[in-house]
Structures are given as structure tokens and as C-alpha cells.
Structure 1
């Protein structure tokens, strides 16, 4: 498996930028690769790409077509179904898929009641970092109740804002330096070249980059 973030996509990790779905897809691949090293006592998790649930949001499809499209996307996205799947609102689709493959836990899963967790770190004023929250939730949620969910976020505040900025750096670094990232050596070379530039010039370049990124995002919106 190989992956990369092309061109403009990786630049949305810049603070105050909303992440693209491609970034979440790339993160799902990173986490799936990391799952091969999970501790025996940890539940086995599988991460799907964002397009798996697209059919659920398409109002012009019939219920049957939505289900068929969902299963088609699911099959394309994952290979191992012996894992935790968290799709609140899509349980019936999952159950139908498991039954069609005679999965031993299909009947048990059909009786599971989905719950929408009420996280205390939910925000009212921050509509930009939903992608970062998603990535953190993907990384840390192990199933179970809210008391067992240790995402590490503070409640909405400047402290939480700082946490989100640090996570942007952490996750971008993890993706860039991952052994399966085919662009790893190229990007690290560019980083090394950037750090050789005088500090004042680096600050100027960052300011220009920030302005250009937001202009590009405005053009795409």
C-alpha cells in the first residue's frame, strides 16, 4: 500500500484551514497500517474512506439503491470485516452486509443499539476544525461509553485551540514521515532546505503562504 498528499492538499494542515476529505482518507490508511501493530488487548479497528457514506447522503437514490451503493463502497474500502465498525445511522446497512456474508456476529450486531456520544469538548464557535476532531476521534476511540473515550481534548477554549494546532503538526508529520508515503523523502528534503533559510525570511514566506492558501481555498469554495 502506498499513499500521498498531492499538490495543494497537504497545505490545508495550516491552522485556520478546513481539511479536505482526501486528508481523512489518507489518515484512514495510516491508521489501518498501524492497526497491524495493535496490542492484543486492544480491539481491532478498521477505518473506511469518506466516500463510503456518500450514498447515504444522496437524496435522489432510493433506500435500496443507497444500501447497495453503501455496500459497494464499503467493500472497496476495506478487506477485513472482523473489526469494530462505528456507523451511527447506518446500522441496518452493515447488518445486511454481514448477513449476506454469513458473518457469525451478524445477528448479535442487529440487536446493538447505536448511541451518539455527547462529547464535552464539542464546540459552538469553531466550525473549521471538524476534520481535526474527526482524525483524533478515529485515532483514540476504542468503542464503549463516553467515560472510556479518552481523546484528550479540553472544553472549547484557547487551550483547545492550541491542542488542535499541535495536532495539525503531529498528524501532518506522521503522514509525511510514514514508511508507506511515496513522497516522504522529497518532502523531508524540502523541509531541510526551508530550515536553512534565515529565520526572518522564513517568517515572511510563511505569511505569504498563509495568504495564498486562504486565497486558494476561497477560489475552491
Structure 2
């Protein structure tokens, strides 16, 4: 999709005073419902709302229908297939919760079961940080995709969440008679090394996660082109190029979600755009100037 005027779309759909902030603006046919306010968190400088990630998974599942012939099949789960309290419960309880949460994922993806030899992406939100656990059922790998370059052990960083997700998935696959059922449970999770990992960026982990889910197809970090440059100069200063790449990606994702054919509210969005175009130049300028502060205040509340 080529976006020729994303700024106008952004202005239209993230203004406090133009339309109701509780309007629903995105939902795939079988996916989660997202109102205007959570989607506003995709604007630069905002911490991403958890619903945006789950909606993004729905959109990527929709796009899988049009994947290149011969490419690996991918399935995208919603955030936190296990809730925070589930990690402290028994393995049996975790497996039950995981299985229950997998059903709406399959419905969203319009598939009856997890495809053989596929990649299964499970986004995680823990301690205000987003990352993803990717289960490679083709090559028998469990990989953590995380933009944070914090130099700590896997156990200290993730508190065995990848292992517990792996075990829950393994039991689920075994129960449904999947070819790798029980086998994936023996695979040790590893943290994938990526050249663009960050030391200082604590705001954009959700955007990194979205990009990782969108582009990762099972190759190692050196052979995976994600489109991010290094975060800092040799002197340790965050580069303008790095900042611009992330902000541009936020804009791109807003437009992509709102104008996707998968969005059942696309016609509402287009109607809203038409209303905005009829405003005077002075009114557009006034609304644009007040946008960021108004949205930040609303999201903070």
C-alpha cells in the first residue's frame, strides 16, 4: 500500500475535539475491537497500548492469506497468551489457559489448527516491556525477539516466561495431535542477536515488536533485514536517523491499520477523512497544533 498523505489521516483520526474518541476505528472480521484512543498510542513519543499489538496480530493473520507461495506459514497470537498470574500457577493450569486463548487466535486467522512447519509468534508484555517469543515448528527453535540490549541472563531478564510458554504450547500441540506435539517442549529458548538492539530506548519496544512480527521469517539476525539502523553513534548519542525510522514506522502503521481492507471500519475512517478535508485551513492548523498534548493527556488519564 502506498500512502501519499498519511499526515492528513493522522490528524483526522487522532483529534480530541473533532469526533468522539470512543469511536471504533479498527477491527478485522473476527479480531479484537480497537477504539480511537488506544490506536492514538501509535503516535510518536507514546507508549504503545496493548490492544494495538493484538490488533496488529489480527491484521498480520489476515495478510497471511496473501503470502508468497512457498514461504513459511506464520501464525500470530494476541498479547499475553498467559496472564501475569498464570506464570505462578501449575503447569496444568497454564496449559489450560493457553489452549483457551488459542481458540480466538485460530478464529481470527481463519484456520482450524496451527499449521505444520510454521512460525508461531507469541507477543509478551512484562514489566512495561514488549517482546516476542517465536516458535519455529519447522526448524525446532524457540527464539526471543527483543529490541532491548540489556546485558543480563535469560533467567533474570524473562523470569522463565519463554520456557513456560514453550511448555504450554507443547502440551497444546500434543493434545491436538500436531506432529511436533511434545517435541518443541524439549527445545531451549535462545535470545536472537540483532544489530539494531537498543540500550537507551525505553518507549518504542511495542513498535520494535510490531516490526519484528511483520518481517521475521525464521532466519538469524545477520540475515534478517528489519530496516533499523544502529541506535547510537560511537559517542553514545542517539542518532537522528534511528529516531526518524521509528517515528516514520509509527505513522506508517497507523495508516496501514486504518486503511487496510481487513479493517471492517475502513468506510467510517474514509468518511471521517472527507469531513476533515472540508474544514478551513485555519481550523485544520488549530486542531493540528493541539493534537499531541490533548492525546497525551487523555492517554495518561
- On whether the aligned pair clears a TM of 0.5, the verdict is yes
Q: Report which of the two has the higher share of helix.
A: 1
CA RMSD in angstroms, aligned pairs only:
2.2
Taking structure 2 as the reference length, the TM-score comes to: 0.66
Q: After superposition, give the CA deviation of every residue in 1:51-106 in whole Å (9 maximum; x if it has no partner).
A: 31325x54552333223212221233224311212154322222111111221223
Q: Which residue pairs with 2:34 in the alignment?
A: 5
Q: After superposition, give the CA deviation of every residue in 1:115-162 in whole Å (9 maximum; x if it has no partner).
A: 211222122222111111111000000013112222111111321211
Between the aligned partners of 2:282 and 2:209, the Cα distance in structure 1 is: 35
Q: In the alignment, is the contact (CA less than 8 A) between 2:171 and 2:182 conserved in 1?
A: no
- What is the DSSP-based 3-state SS (H/G/I as helix, E as strand, rest coil) of the residue aligned with 1:36? helix
Q: In the alignment, is the contact (CA less than 8 A) between 1:52 and 1:77 conserved in 2?
A: no
Q: 1:80 aligns with which of 107, 113, 120?
A: 113
Q: In the alignment, is the contact (CA less than 8 A) between 1:46 and 1:80 conserved in 2?
A: no
Question: What does residue range 46-195 of structure 1 map to in structure 2 within 5 Å?
Answer: 46-54=75-83, 58-78=86-106, 79-82=112-115, 83-85=118-120, 86-87=134-135, 88-89=162-163, 90-106=165-181, 108-156=183-231, 157-195=239-277
Between the aligned partners of 1:199 and 1:173, the Cα distance in structure 2 is: 22
User: CA 1:186 to 1:80, structure 2 compared with 1: closer, same or farther past 3 Å?
Assistant: same
Q: Which residue pairs with 1:206 in the alignment?
A: 288
Question: What does residue range 24-43 of structure 1 map to in structure 2 within 5 Å?
Answer: 24-43=53-72
Q: After superposition, give the CA deviation of every residue in 1:166-220 in whole Å (9 maximum; x if it has no partner).
A: 111211111111223222112122223324444454333123121111111222x
Q: In the alignment, is the contact (CA less than 8 A) between 1:25 and 1:49 conserved in 2?
A: yes
Q: In the alignment, is the contact (CA less than 8 A) between 1:10 and 1:23 conserved in 2?
A: yes
Number of residue pairs matched? 218
Taking structure 1 as the reference length, the TM-score comes to: 0.88
- What is the DSSP-based 3-state SS (H/G/I as helix, E as strand, rest coil) of the residue aligned with 1:143? coil
Between the aligned partners of 1:104 and 1:84, the Cα distance in structure 2 is: 14
Q: Report which of the two has the higher share of strand.
A: 2
Between the aligned partners of 1:125 and 1:166, the Cα distance in structure 2 is: 19
Between the aligned partners of 2:190 and 2:277, the Cα distance in structure 1 is: 47
Q: In the alignment, is the contact (CA less than 8 A) between 1:2 and 1:182 conserved in 2?
A: no
Q: After superposition, give the CA deviation of every residue in 1:27-49 in whole Å (9 maximum; x if it has no partner).
A: 11111011011112210000011
- What is the DSSP-based 3-state SS (H/G/I as helix, E as strand, rest coil) of the residue aligned with 1:106? coil
Which residues of structure 2 form unaligned runs of 5+?
A: 1-28, 107-111, 121-133, 136-161, 232-238
User: CA 1:39 to 1:59, structure 2 compared with 1: closer, same or farther past 3 Å?
Assistant: closer
